[in-house]
């Protein structure tokens, strides 16, 4: 095959750039813009998880009543001050848990269980996600909790954002998902979980230690949570190593007033903090739940 001429190479490069730009636009529509505040979004532009016109989104949110009276907020905040993290997922027995480790492989023909745990040392990648997605529908619909990776973030798992989408579509009843030590996610991973898991209560996304990629980031997707009808059961978020602009972090505090039950653990360039009741507290000052 003859080599491309100079003009042909330029044409091919421009086509590649156009395709990358097209994909970027799609991604920003799905996951929110990184740069434009809401007031700059055109009224007719698709916005939010269901891509409704921005003006319709605004009108619908303005019509929603406040979550609670401020006096009720103050009362609850005072009662929880100095207390452990309140949210705890429902206990699931060992009989209802499938542990996947070096000695136990994932068996898609096993009896349905409510909890799937992929131990540290098992690299959860998209190939393994395909196996889970191809499991029997009865097995998949039973799973409520999915945990994978190294909670210490020393070992990486290689699941991608496409893998997260496939996983959450395959496990439609998920209430809790924890992906520890990720290395290949992009900003679409978090909104994908919210969109595909209507019953979600808890989301934990952490990045492997030493990786400082801004591709794994939070953005205006968080503002979708101002809609109280969207994932109404959400109680807990944990982000470690996930980038979020420093000047936007006050929004995390606001979010815990907008959604009074919500608790957020956040760690990026400083020690981890607990955010709840519109207040940020160093996590090392929060007592453990079992004390």
For residue 124, give the CATH number of its domain.
3.80.10
Which pLDDT belongs to residue 150?
Answer: 97
Query: Does pLDDT of 3 surpass 90?
Result: no
Which pLDDT belongs to residue 31?
Answer: 46
Query: Does pLDDT of 32 surpass 90?
Result: no
C-alpha to C-alpha distance for 93 and 109, rounded to whole angstroms: 20
Query: Does pLDDT of 189 surpass 90?
Result: yes
* Residue 99 located in a structural domain: yes
Q: pTM for the full model? A: 0.85
* Residue 272 located in a structural domain: no
Q: Which residue has the higher pLDDT, 287 or 212?
A: 287
* Residue 247 located in a structural domain: yes
Which pLDDT belongs to residue 139?
Answer: 95
Which pLDDT belongs to residue 38?
Answer: 45
In this prediction, residues 73-83 reach a mean pLDDT of 92
* Residue 180 located in a structural domain: yes
* Residue 24 located in a structural domain: no
Share of the chain above pLDDT 90, in %: 67
Burial of 209 (0-12, 13-18, 19+ CB in 10 A): middle
Which pLDDT belongs to residue 21?
Answer: 65
Q: Domain containing 135: what range?
A: 91-252
* Residue 165 located in a structural domain: yes
* Residue 183 located in a structural domain: yes
Which pLDDT belongs to residue 24?
Answer: 56
C-alpha to C-alpha distance for 243 and 13, rounded to whole angstroms: 31
List pLDDT tens digits, range 120-176: 999 999 999 999 999 999 999 999 999 999 999 999 999 999 999 999 999 999 999
List pLDDT tens digits, range 228-248: 999 999 999 999 999 888 878
Query: Does pLDDT of 285 surpass 90?
Result: yes
C-alpha to C-alpha distance for 110 and 112, rounded to whole angstroms: 6
Number of independent structural domains in the chain: 1
Which pLDDT belongs to residue 37?
Answer: 43
DSSP annotation string for 49-75: TTTEEHHHHHHHHHHSPPSS-HHHHHH
Strand (E) or helix (H) holding 182: strand 176-184
In this prediction, residues 64-85 reach a mean pLDDT of 91
- Catalogue the long-range contacts made by 194-199 (C-beta closer than 8 Å, 24 or more residues apart): 194/49, 194/221, 194/224, 194/225, 194/230, 194/231, 194/234, 195/49, 196/165, 196/168, 196/169, 196/172, 197/168, 197/171, 197/172, 197/231, 198/172, 198/231, 199/173, 199/174, 199/175, 199/233
Which pLDDT belongs to residue 210?
Answer: 87
Mean per-residue pLDDT over the chain, rounded: 88
Tokens at 222, concatenated: 């968080």
What's 152's DSSP letter?
T
Nearest to 185, CA basis, from 237, 130, 242: 242
* Residue 241 located in a structural domain: yes
Which pLDDT belongs to residue 10?
Answer: 73
Which pLDDT belongs to residue 216?
Answer: 78
Radius of gyration of the chain (CA): 21
């Amino acid at each position: 095959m003859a080599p491309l001429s100079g003009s042909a190479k330029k044409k091919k490069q421009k086509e590649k750039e156009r395709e990358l730009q097209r994909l970027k636009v799609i991604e920003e529509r799905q996951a929110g813009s990184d740069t434009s505040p809401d007031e700059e979004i055109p009224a007719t532009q698709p916005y939010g998880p269901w891509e409704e016109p921005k003006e319709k989104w605004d009108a619908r949110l303005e019509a929603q009543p406040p979550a609670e009276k401020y006096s009720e907020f103050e009362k609850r905040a005072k009662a929880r001050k100095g207390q452990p993290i309140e949210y705890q997922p429902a206990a699931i027995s060992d009989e209802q848990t499938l542990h996947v480790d070096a000695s136990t492989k994932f068996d898609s023909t096993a009896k349905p269980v409510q909890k799937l745990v992929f131990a540290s040392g098992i690299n959860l990648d998209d190939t393994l996600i395909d196996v889970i997605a191809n499991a029997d529908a009865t097995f998949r619909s039973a799973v409520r909790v999915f945990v994978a990776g190294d909670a210490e973030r020393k070992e990486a798992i290689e699941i991608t954002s496409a893998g997260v989408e496939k996983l959450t579509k395959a496990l439609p009843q998920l209430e809790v998902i924890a992906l520890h030590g990720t290395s290949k996610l992009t900003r679409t991973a978090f909104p994908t979980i919210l969109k595909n898991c209507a019953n979600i209560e808890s989301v934990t996304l952490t990045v492997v230690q030493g990786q400082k990629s801004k591709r794994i980031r939070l953005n205006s997707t968080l503002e979708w949570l101002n809609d109280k009808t969207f994932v109404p059961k959400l109680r807990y978020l944990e982000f470690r190593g996930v980038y979020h602009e420093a000047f936007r972090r006050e929004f995390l505090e606001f979010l815990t007033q907008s959604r009074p039950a919500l608790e957020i653990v956040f760690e990026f360039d400083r020690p981890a903090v607990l955010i709840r009741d519109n207040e940020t507290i160093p996590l090392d000052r929060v007592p453990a739940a079992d004390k």
